[in-house]
Structure 1
């Protein structure tokens, strides 16, 4: 890319539209109306912390992107947006501040120029970075979100809440990487780009600009394509160290590199339905972008010669030569000049060829080393992931086997219990019958003496009763007879005594 492209990415059109940055209240869920810039309208989980504020970046009453801003580090934690397009060439670059961050009671709901905010905002710069914080330093304001959703509103991204300290070289390479990835890989592999969700963020380091604005240790980008049946998710990381190229990682690996181990996309952007073929095509483009970045670094590392051959050939001759005035001296000098020039030319050619060979060998060695490093890193990452997956499956086998064995034992015990109950129910009645039948003779034989005894006692009682009845009857008869006779004799006696 030419210098004009880099200037285009860092410039703006004239500020002709109203820009708003609504600060989302602590009581509001998510980012309010800016939830549309997140997959499934769900912001990343785990990145919000004390000292973070949520901003819904708006322009002309329309939401443009969302930003989670750290007032402690004075850099954005991340910015989220959809369907980005590169900002067109512009004229003036106007960096804006958010009044409500420093003054929550401010009635100014629009982002504004720092010069205008000085007189209108209380404690300006107490919680957010200002343009003055970057002056006379080795860093400049670098956008985490260097795109525009519309060519009319690309100035929206030029807010200090969407900027982090970057060196000029790093900023140039970061913008080059993002533009190449967006134009050649991410957007083409996601339909028209309307279903493409992008989150860019920064991880703070221990270095600060003027002891106020934290320099990122690394910047990152996570992309989620939500096309039904053909979606995918990818992550990219770029360390701020020199000569580090952008790295492609899976979203889960990216989450492990971030503080608090967050979840960037709900359900990992539909992980079970992702299109691996599109991800392979994206990785091919990433490899090309990495090679282009390495070539650019190699070209930048070449330094010009301390002095040109023409400058050395134009050096004035020694004073001794200038003092020669004899004809022979001039003649010898005239004759020696072509040989000297030829010798210098041969030396220049030899040195140039040797330098070209050295540069070529250095480039080849660098490419080989970088390729080997990249290959080893990917091989190591794939191997670790493979063994971790195998380990998880192997570790889960004993537990799964134990669960199956327990279920089998429980089933067998239930079957045995049911069989025992059935047997008991089947054999319950015959057993009682057999016991009663077996006990019947015993009960019968044992009852014979008792029956005989009862019979004898019954017969004896009957006989005794007969005797008692007979004797009682006879006694009664004798008593009646005796009473009758006695009465008869008494009457006779009485009659006889009357007659007398």
Structure 2
């Protein structure tokens, strides 16, 4: 009940609906208008698909059924607009494809949302997935805004030729017969192959374009372009394209889906019908009609039985080859793991022996260190004892010389003291004698004068 109320509230707010369409919503939600009579194609039952209402700056631009398994679109739906991709610049990504709970409900550049979306590129292709390859992101419909969710890997030459083919179809076949595109609906899709770019993005086996002019005099037309034929372009009816897509695919509903032909194909078909009906004026008899009826019934029964047998054979072959592949994978994995273990055994044995040898060397080194330590103590003591007499005897002359030097110094000190005392006494006596003599002879000047 709460979810239903929430959906009603969101539907009442333009531009607030989530871009990633949830399973509970009808079709492609607010992007249903890109399909004739708001009815999306039926029969695309691929696993891992998401419905995207591709929007930018509050405006919806087209709808896409995207395969997260192949990281490529199964189809995108457009209504003709002359300047559909003029306002955008650079490749865009859809954040909610990798994070369905993200609040980023419009396309954005990967560099701007990488930090806000953990695991960006887990379910969708990014520009770096095409690195170092011969492929480029090629839009299914180049007149639409460029998003990686509506593009597939194409070579540069094929990409350019496909854009030229689409422009020619619009100019020569679609617009002149549909009021200049006012009610022109376009479906562009791709059938993925087993080849992948960098083991991520599936390269298409072929791409296709289907047009529906939703007017009272409705018509439809389709073309197929195979990636192995750059110059080829196969023009078919929508029914023929649906048969090639298989799986009960129904691209258009209403008048466009009931065998409506393009005016050129219609005129060709009418001329062919008239040619066939002219000689048929003679009506066949009852027996002939009964025989034809029985033949058609038997033919359809045989055809149905053969189709059933072929389907059963394919299923059995898929099961058998699938099991064989699983067994082969398991066997090779086991052999690889066993070989790895067996090859590691000699390395482990050599590593053990190396560790044992290193341990033995360390033990021997420690033992020799202990022996050297033990022997070094008595050796040093004996050397000191042996050198003691040498140093003692050699010290005696030095000590004698030092004693003699001391005695001689004492003697010289005493001699200097006696000589100094005698000289001082002589100086005092001479001074006293000269003073007495001067007084005696009558000199009155002082000594200082």
* TM-score, with length taken from structure 2: 0.54
2:92–2:108 Cα contact (<8 Å) kept: yes
Counterpart in the other structure of 2:107: 111
Counterpart in the other structure of 1:414: none
Alpha-carbon displacement from aligned partner over 1:52-79 (angstroms, at most 9, x marks no partner): 0000012332221100000000011100
2:140–2:189 Cα contact (<8 Å) kept: yes
Alpha-carbon distance between aligned partners in 2 of 1:242 and 1:82, rounded to the nearest angstrom: 28
Counterpart in the other structure of 1:231: 218
| 1:83 has 2:80 as partner | yes
User: What is the aligned counterpart of 2:39 among 32, 38, 42?
Assistant: 42
Counterpart in the other structure of 1:98: 94
Alpha-carbon displacement from aligned partner over 1:177-236 (angstroms, at most 9, x marks no partner): 0011112211111113121111000000011000000000100001111110x2211110
Alpha-carbon distance between aligned partners in 2 of 1:114 and 1:264, rounded to the nearest angstrom: 32
Alpha-carbon distance between aligned partners in 2 of 1:268 and 1:227, rounded to the nearest angstrom: 9
Alpha-carbon distance between aligned partners in 2 of 1:251 and 1:67, rounded to the nearest angstrom: 19
Unaligned segments of structure 2, at least 5 residues: 1-14, 277-288, 298-449
Structure 1 residues 79 and 40 mapped into 2: Cα distance closer, same or farther (>3 Å)? same
Q: CA deviation at 1:397?
A: 3.0
Q: How does 1:74-473 map to 2 (within 5 A)?
A: 74-85=71-82, 93-148=89-144, 157-228=145-216, 230-267=217-254, 269=256, 271=258, 274=260, 277-279=263-265, 397-398=293-294
SS at match of 1:263: coil
Q: CA deviation at 1:244?
A: 4.4
Structure 1 residues 394 and 146 mapped into 2: Cα distance closer, same or farther (>3 Å)? farther
Structure 1 residues 32 and 185 mapped into 2: Cα distance closer, same or farther (>3 Å)? same
Alpha-carbon displacement from aligned partner over 1:434-479 (angstroms, at most 9, x marks no partner): xxxxxxxxxxxxxxxxxxxxxxxxxxxxxxxxxxxxxxxxxxxxxx
Q: CA deviation at 1:100?
A: 0.6
Structure 1 residues 212 and 269 mapped into 2: Cα distance closer, same or farther (>3 Å)? same
Structure 1 residues 80 and 88 mapped into 2: Cα distance closer, same or farther (>3 Å)? closer
Q: CA deviation at 1:275?
A: 6.0
2:35–2:78 Cα contact (<8 Å) kept: yes
Alpha-carbon distance between aligned partners in 1 of 2:158 and 2:187, rounded to the nearest angstrom: 19
CA-based RMSD of the aligned residues comes to: 3.1
Alpha-carbon displacement from aligned partner over 1:376-410 (angstroms, at most 9, x marks no partner): xxx9xxx9xxxxxxxxx988734999xxxxxxxxx
Structure 1 residues 275 and 169 mapped into 2: Cα distance closer, same or farther (>3 Å)? closer
Alpha-carbon distance between aligned partners in 2 of 1:162 and 1:400, rounded to the nearest angstrom: 44
Q: CA deviation at 1:27?
A: 1.2
Structure 1 residues 400 and 253 mapped into 2: Cα distance closer, same or farther (>3 Å)? closer
Q: How does 1:12-91 map to 2 (within 5 A)?
A: 22-85=19-82
SS at match of 1:235: strand
Alpha-carbon distance between aligned partners in 2 of 1:115 and 1:19, rounded to the nearest angstrom: 24
Structure 1 residues 194 and 144 mapped into 2: Cα distance closer, same or farther (>3 Å)? same
Alpha-carbon displacement from aligned partner over 1:93-135 (angstroms, at most 9, x marks no partner): 4111111111111111121111112111011111000110011
In the alignment of these two chains, the number of paired residues is 266
1:21–1:55 Cα contact (<8 Å) kept: no
SS at match of 1:85: coil
Structure 1 residues 84 and 258 mapped into 2: Cα distance closer, same or farther (>3 Å)? farther
Alpha-carbon distance between aligned partners in 2 of 1:239 and 1:123, rounded to the nearest angstrom: 33
Unaligned segments of structure 1, at least 5 residues: 1-17, 149-156, 284-378, 384-392, 402-500
Alpha-carbon distance between aligned partners in 2 of 1:162 and 1:395, rounded to the nearest angstrom: 52
1:231–1:270 Cα contact (<8 Å) kept: no
SS at match of 1:227: coil
Alpha-carbon distance between aligned partners in 1 of 2:171 and 2:267, rounded to the nearest angstrom: 13
